[in-house]
Amino acid sequence: MTSTAKKLLVAAIVFVLAISLWDAMWSNNLHVNLGDDDFDGPLGALFGVVLAGGGMLIAVVALVCAAVFVGVLCAGIGIVLVSALVLASVIVVAAMSPLLLPLLIPVGLYWIFSARARARRQRRAAYAPTA
């Protein structure tokens, strides 16, 4: 999105909110009932806006708490699932290790010989004179 489009989008949102506020504050068809009392006009509009804002605040707090709970729940389930997969893979590798022994012998020999060669190179580099 370009900066012009972003500015236009922000201006449109502010315009719609201003029209909504204008309609809520200066319209004659907003009536608020609190208990047995009936409020209309500007005072009713003020009560309506304040009470609606309080309701929205409560809804936001409830949604945030629900989102945190679901996030923690899913993370806990994810940890259990990953642990179960690791355990299953360890069990499979343990069951297959006698079958993999012919493949592991050449890998082990290559590892040993490369480690010995690396150790010799490091010893030669440690004793080599530096200029």
Give 54-76 pLDDT, tens digit per residue. Answer: 888 898 899 999 999 998 888 88
Average pLDDT over residues 30-59: 77
The CA distance from 57 to 43, in Å, is 21
Q: Which two tokens stand for residue 45?
A: 């509009």
Residues in the chain: 131
Residue 115: per-residue pLDDT: 93
Residue type (1 letter), 28? N
User: Given a cut of 90, is residue 44 above it in pLDDT?
Assistant: no
Q: What is the pLDDT of residue 19?
A: 85
Read off the tokens for 74. 């899913």
Helix (H) or strand (E) holding 16: helix 3-26
Q: Is the pLDDT of residue 28 over 70?
A: no
Q: Is the pTM of this model over 0.75?
A: no
Kindly compute the dihedral angle of the four CA atoms of residues 121, 127, 128, 131, in this order, to the nearest 10 degrees. Answer: 140
CB 118 within 8 A of CB 126: no
Higher pLDDT, 114 or 19: 114
Q: What pLDDT score was predicted for residue 33?
A: 75
Alpha-carbon distance of 125 to 101, in angstroms, equals 36
